[in-house]
A and B are shown apart, each in its own frame.
Chain A
Amino acid sequence: MPALAGQAAVAADEIVDVRRSFGKRTAIDGLTLTIQTGSVVGIVGPNGAGKTTLIDMICGLTRPSSGTVKVLGEDVVRGGAALRARIGVLPQETALYEEVTAQQNLDFAASLYGVPNAVARTAEVLDLVGLRQRAHDVVRGFSGGMQRRLAIARALLHNPSLLILDEPTVGVDIEARHQIWAHIRSLKAMGRTVVLTTNYLDEAEALCDRVAILRAGKLLAEDTPVALTTRTGRCLELECAAAGVAVIGDALRGHADVLRVESADFGLRTYLKAGVYPEEVVHFARGIYPVNGFRARSPDLAEVFRSLTAEGVTP
């Protein structure tokens, strides 16, 4: 079970040893995860990793084959309308009625969720996502980013305690992506618990307090982005001639302080164990073949992901 960040925090969701199969295919395989109240948690993984199935189980659309899923303190399978009223969902496909206006979309959602003082509340959420001026425009004329923002507004309409965003920035341009990030950050500032799935590791790194990495229905790792990158080790890039790549690479693979070695167009990329000084490894390499230059830096989440999925690390 992953270490819990902030022991004093209250768990918003607890997923314990959950399995979900569709016929012979296992989508989620013995997954355990705790999500703290007020945190933003990213679920990342390649296509088919089980992200959407996990999200569907958290919001109650799909029942686990075994194990328990508790959301906001309630068993999601037994939780009824009262629990659903406390969850806001942004589906991957935005699920908007394109034929009608933004206001009509929100009016419809307000009627389903029984939002009190709906007129004022719809105006408020439209303001929040910067679409107040477009309230009476037909959604079909909206850009992809505007549609995403409207869908976020709809998910927030009933003031949910838990917000689930399934790939919130998929298919939108860079500018819209950053606008959506800003909205998610503002939600975090408001103290909401947000669970988001994403294929973009920079998105998870930029937004999330904690990141859960899935592959083939299993949880590979779950931690803060900083802890995950630390676990992967400091990255050391060595510039050398092509002839040196093989000999230095072979030598470094046998080095006790080196976790992993990859070839790169400039030479070699290596990942060092915690506490190892890069200069020592550079000195070692220069003893084997000339090194023209080097650069030490922290790995990004993409490298962490690559490292974990390549090695099948157990959390």
Chain B
Amino acid sequence: MIASVWGMARNDLAVWLRSPAAIAAALLPALGMGILVAVLTNSVGQQPVALVTQSKGRLGARMGKILEADAEAYLIEEMTASEAERAIGDQRVAAIIVVPENFDEAVAGRKAVVDLYLNNVDIDLADDIRRSVARSIAEFDAPQLGLLGELHGPSEGILLPNPYRVAVAEHNMRATNVSFLQYQVIPIVVLVIVSIGLLGTALLTARDFERGTAKLMILSPAGRLPLVVGRSLGGSLITIALVAPLVGLGFVTHYIPYCADTSGAPRWVTILFSAPCAWTLSVPFWSHAVALIALLAAVTLTTVGMGILLGIAVRDEKLVTMIGLNAAVYLFFLGGGFTTVAFLPEWIQTASRFVPTSYAIEGLRQALFYPDLVGFGTDLAVLSACAVLSLALASGMLARAWRKG
């Protein structure tokens, strides 16, 4: 039995690795989606803004530094006034922030202003800049209300006395902050797994019917269990063979200077070099490694089982490719690929409860980014149940279909 299982898995792996068109069909849409999400995240999350610091005084310089430090909000580039005017005219920057020449004197007289010239063509993007500038100005007098306060949590007794009568006492639910780009990487990883696991296994199964190898298998004395287990193992090995290098590179890029957020390298360089390998995934806590592996295994087996079901149902390579890719995209979307499911309309939230990828995305985020494993058990249990169910169904259908075929 072991020889049959391994023979089947090894054959599947060999066939798949010699099918560059199928690999491309499974990988390229997912990687393309990854780059698209990275570019969109970058363009929405951080907009290019020109900073013109005309003040030569100490306070003006400090104001400039506070604005520059808010790298989470925008990509600041220091310019002269004429350069900034040209840049906004050419739409190379979304706004110009000017710290005027008399800033220090004006602060002393409590009449200081920071000029904001805003290309308010998009209210959402314009509001992002407005809020960020307001936060930086608040930080000038009350650090606990600015970025510094957000990063360091409740500030009572630590930072300056609050000149306002009300302060924000922030209580973070999680001990770590995760960048939006990192947050969005996880659905892409899941999409890659779904694309390869589902499409890869579905293609192998459909081809077996198309070229008659299914008949050969059922006529052998191997029996249906080794065949199904072997196909599942083969599909899983294919998925691991293609996903592991991407995820591995995602972890490795954490240590590569030009890929790290703190490198100071231009953003496009980071995206260009690290987007194809899942960007900079945070290296998981050691205690979470087992949970992470269990979840990835459950997702892989679920998608492989679904792939076998699809292959049996369709039995046509071209149709399988079309349906498989579409299914992967819907699983990505309904699983919260583009945004957190909780922010989506009620009916999508309801639908996503029945979509295994939503549990995969949530579980992976929890295992990778946060020190606790809140809700992880549910995610893993649901995915494991999905894996068992899909493989059991696939087993029954595969044996029946092959015998008829």
Chain B residues with CB below 8 A from A89, complex form: 215-216, 219
How many Å lie between the Cα of A295 and that of B14 in the bound state? 61
Give the complex CA separation of A80 and B11 in angstroms: 24
B18 located at the interface, meaning its Cβ lies under 8 Å from any Cβ of chain A in the complex: yes
Q: Are B222 and A112 in contact (CB under 8 A)?
A: yes
How many residues of chain B get a CB closer than 8 Å to chain A's CBs?
24
> Within 8 Å CB of B7, what residues of A?
107-108, 110-112
Take A97-B11, A111-B3, A138-B18 as given contacts and tell me if A91 and B215 are in contact as well, using a CB distance cutoff of 8 Å.
Answer: yes
List residues of B (1-60) whose CB comes within 8 Å of A's CBs: 3-4, 6-8, 10-11, 14-15, 18-19
Q: In whole angstroms, how far apart are the Cα atoms of A89 and B213 in the complex?
A: 11
Mask, A83-95, CB within 8 Å of B = 1, is 0110101011111
Whether A104 contacts B14 in the complex (CB less than 8 A), given A81-B221, A99-B19, A112-B222, comes out as yes
> Are A97 and B222 within 8 A (Cβ)?
no
How long is the Cα–Cα vector from A81 to B215 in the complex, in angstroms? 15
Q: Does A235 reach chain B (CB closer than 8 Å)?
A: no
A59 with B216, Cβ < 8 A, contacts A108-B7, A108-B11 known = no
Interface size on A (CB < 8 Å)?
Answer: 30
B221 near A114 (CB under 8 angstroms)? yes
- The verdict on A97 contacting B3 (CB below 8 Å), with A81-B223, A111-B8 known, is no
Q: Which of B195-227 contact A (CB under 8 A)?
A: 211-213, 215-223
* CB interface residues, B 259-289, toward A, < 8 Å: none
**Could you tell me if B219 and A84 are in contact, using CB atoms closer than 8 angstroms?**
yes
- Contact string, A103-118, partner B, CB cutoff 8 A, digits 1/0? 0100111111110000
Contact status A94-B11, CB under 8 Å:
no
CB distance from B14 to the nearest CB of A (A): 5
The docked-state distance in angstroms from the alpha carbon of A111 to that of B215 is 16
Q: Are B221 and A85 in contact (CB under 8 A)?
A: yes
A100 near B216 with CB under 8 A, answer no
Q: Which residues of A contact B14 (CB under 8 A)?
A: 97, 99-100, 104
**A60 at interface, CB cutoff 8 A:** yes
When C-beta atoms are compared, the residue in chain A nearest to B207 turns out to be: A97
Q: Encode contact with A along B153-190: 1 for CB under 8 Å, 0 otherwise.
A: 00000000000000000000000000000000000000
Known: A91-B215, A107-B7. A99 touches B15 (CB 8 A): yes
Tell me the nearest residue of chain B to A83, going by C-beta. B221
Residues of A within 8 A of B65 (CB): none
| Chain A neighbourhood of B212, CB < 8 A | 91-95
The 6 closest A-B pairs by CB, nearest first: A111-B7, A81-B221, A95-B212, A112-B220, A93-B212, A99-B18
B interface residues with partner A (beta carbon < 8 Å): 3-4, 6-8, 10-11, 14-15, 18-19, 211-213, 215-223, 403
A61-B219, A95-B212 known; 7 new pairs, CB 8 Å cut-off, are A81-B221, A84-B220, A91-B215, A97-B211, A108-B8, A111-B3, A112-B216
6 contacts between A and B (CB under 8 A): A80-B221, A89-B215, A111-B11, A112-B222, A113-B222, A138-B18
